[in-house]
Amino acid sequence: MQMPPTKGGVVPYLTVDGAVKASEFYKKAFAAEVAHVVPPDEKGRTMHVHVYINGSSLMMSDAYPEHGHPLQQPAAFSVMLPVDDVDAWYGRAVKAGCTAVMPPADMFWGDRYGQLKDPFGVIWAMNGPVKK
């Protein structure tokens, strides 16, 4: 089996409740492209899903507590998504089912920035140029 290329210098690898469902949601919310999915096991879990979002890889799996990977609530991190139009990306994500955490605003550091939470508990931060 030929594995798809990994894009990006640092690749987030998330453990979520429903990795295949998350990949389908990310297609709607973030225009993700599914690169690879390991078929689910007899319990409906998958050990690996690889998607591309805005030119970078994101990987995820379901929890496997019996192998030392329990499901835990995401905490103390966000996934940064640099985009060319924060408002458009943010709006699509909210329409798809993300919850607004910090609506897009022009920030003191010179960028437009916003945060939202997806149905899997992951905080997404969007950063891009200020609209003129």
Would you state the pLDDT for residue 130?
96
Tell me if 100 sits within 8 A of 112, measured CB to CB.
no
Q: Is 46 helix (H, G, I), strand (E, B) or coil?
A: coil
Residue 132 has pLDDT above 80, yes or no: no
Whether 13-64 and 79-129 share one fold: the answer is no
- Mean of all residue pLDDT scores within the chain: 95
The string of pLDDT tens digits covering residues 73-117 is 888 999 999 999 999 999 999 999 999 999 999 999 999 999 999
Residue 6 has pLDDT above 80, yes or no: yes
Options 1.10.3710.10, 3.10.180.10, 2.60.120.700, 3.40.50.1100; CATH for 79-129 is 3.10.180.10
Task: Locate the domains of the chain by residue range.
Answer: 13-64, 79-129
Would you state the pLDDT for residue 8?
85
Radius of gyration in angstroms for the set of CA atoms belonging to the chain, rounded to a whole number: 15
For the domain spanning 13-64, the CATH number is: 3.30.720.100
Distance CA 6, CA 51 (A): 9
What's the pLDDT band for 46 if we cut at 50, 70, 90?
Answer: very high
